[in-house]
Amino acid sequence: MLSNSKTVDIMATESQEKQLIENEIAKIEASELDQPSKDLILQVLQDGRKLSVDEVRRIWKLLSDEQKDKFGLTSRILWLEEGNHRAGRNHILKHKEEFANKGIPEEKLDELAEAATQVGYPAGYQGKGLGRPIVLLYFYNDPVAVAISVGANGFVVGMNPKNFGQMITKLGISPDVVREVSSWPRVS
């Protein structure tokens, strides 16, 4: 049997948790994101995963479990937050000049993160062992290779450009193979 003080503590904790959830829902509704994005944020929070509602730049649901498994994820919902110098968009921005040199402007980086996880053709790993996955794709008809890491919870940790030509050569495949299966935006 719980003592009265433990009962009060549990009730206070439940009340505080309910207030936190209500605050997060209010933040979601006040955000400038579209309704499908708001719905995905709510689903992430309901699943018990941590997400900074105020910092979400882009959120999406993977098209298939195959993509989820490729990145070793526990969920098909992925998102990119502002983050800091070590993770998220601000970490990715360390490479903005490299991306710009490959024809990808800063304002397309959020979309590129989604495209890489949705349609990217697996091309190996950056670093030792199973480091950051490298994927190939055609992004608005331009060949692109990126290394992208996503936390098991769905948070995009980082992304940096790689050399498409070198990766094609290493894999011994034609660029047309990538174009056929890994193009963004998808043509319906």
Please tell me the distance from the alpha carbon of residue 28 to that of residue 42, in angstroms, as a whole number.
Answer: 8
Domain boundaries, the chain: 55-184
Residue 186 has pLDDT above 80, yes or no: no
| CA distance readout (Å), 163 to 41, 70, 116, 146, 147 | 33, 21, 15, 8, 10
29 band by pLDDT with thresholds 50, 70 and 90: confident
Residue 25 has a pLDDT of 75
Residue 8 has pLDDT above 70, yes or no: no
Residue 12 has a pLDDT of 52
φ, ψ of residue 126 to 5 degrees: the values are -95, 135
Lowest pLDDT segment from 28-32, 75-79, 94-98: 28-32
7 band by pLDDT with thresholds 50, 70 and 90: very low
